[in-house]
Structure 1
Amino acid sequence: MTERYAAMVAVGARLGLRQGEAFGLAVDDVDFLRGVVHVRRQVKLFRDRRMVFALPKGGKERDIPLPESLRLLLAEHMRPEKYPPVQVTLPWRVPEGEPVPARLVFTTRQNTPINRTEWNRFVWKPALVRADVPATRENGFHALRHHFASVLLERGVDVRALAEFLGHADPGFTLRTYTHLMPSSRDRMRLAIDGAWGHDAGACALDVPSERVS
Structure 2
Amino acid sequence: MGYGYKEGYLKEPCDAYILSNNPKREMRVLSQLEQKTLEKCLKKNDCQDNAALGIRLCLYTGIRIGELCALKWSAIDLTHGIIRIRETLQRIQQNGGGTRVIISTPKTHHSLRDIPIPKILIQELRQCTDLPQHYFLSGSVKPMEPRIMQARFARYLSDGGIAHANFHSLRHTFATRCIESGVDIKSLSELLGHSSTSFTLNRYVHSSMDYKRLQMERLMEGFIR
TM-score band by shorter chain is: 0.5 to 0.7
> How many pairs were matched up?
164
User: CA shift at 1:57, angstroms?
Assistant: 4.2
Q: Which amino acid aligns with 2:58?
A: G
Q: CA 1:13–1:118 in structure 2 vs 1: closer, same or farther (change >3 Å)?
A: closer
Q: Matched residue of 1:112: which SS?
A: coil
User: CA shift at 1:143, angstroms?
Assistant: 1.1
- Check the 8 A contact 1:23/1:114 in 2, yes or no: yes
Aligned residue among 162, 173, 195 for 1:147: 173
In the alignment, structure 1 segments of 5+ residues that lack a partner are 79-83, 88-102, 191-214
Q: Which amino acid aligns with 1:74?
A: L
The reply on whether 1:56 has 2:81 as its aligned counterpart is no
Q: Which residue of 1 aligns with 2:159?
A: 130
Aligned residue among 79, 82, 87 for 1:41: 87
Q: Which residue of 1 aligns with 2:138?
A: 107
Q: Matched residue of 2:161: which SS?
A: coil
Q: Which residue of 2 aligns with 1:77?
A: 128
Calculate the TM-score normalised by the size of structure 2. 0.64
CA distance in 1: counterparts of 2:77 and 2:211, whole angstroms: 36
Q: Matched residue of 1:133: which SS?
A: coil
Q: Matched residue of 2:205: which SS?
A: helix
Calculate the TM-score normalised by the size of structure 1. 0.67
Q: CA 1:166–1:125 in structure 2 vs 1: closer, same or farther (change >3 Å)?
A: same
Which structure has the higher relative contact order (CA within 8 Å, separation 6+)?
Answer: 2
* TM-align CA RMSD: 2.7
The reply on whether 1:165 has 2:191 as its aligned counterpart is yes
Q: CA 1:126–1:35 in structure 2 vs 1: closer, same or farther (change >3 Å)?
A: closer
- Check the 8 A contact 1:17/1:166 in 2, yes or no: yes
Instruction: Provide Cα deviations, 1:79-122, integer angstroms capped at 9, x if missing partner.
Output: xxxxx3473xxxxxxxxxxxxxxx311117x763112224323x
CA distance in 1: counterparts of 2:85 and 2:62, whole angstroms: 11
Identity in percent: 27
Q: Which moved more, 1:10-19 or 1:148-157?
A: 148-157
When Rg is computed on C-alpha atoms for both structures, the one with the higher figure is 1
Q: CA 1:106–1:85 in structure 2 vs 1: closer, same or farther (change >3 Å)?
A: farther
Q: CA 1:57–1:151 in structure 2 vs 1: closer, same or farther (change >3 Å)?
A: farther
In the alignment, structure 2 segments of 5+ residues that lack a partner are 1-41, 219-225
CA distance in 2: counterparts of 1:63 and 1:118, whole angstroms: 26
Q: Which residue of 2 aligns with 1:93?
A: none
Q: Which moved more, 1:156-165 or 1:172-181?
A: 172-181
Q: Matched residue of 1:104: which SS?
A: coil
Q: CA 1:85–1:171 in structure 2 vs 1: closer, same or farther (change >3 Å)?
A: same
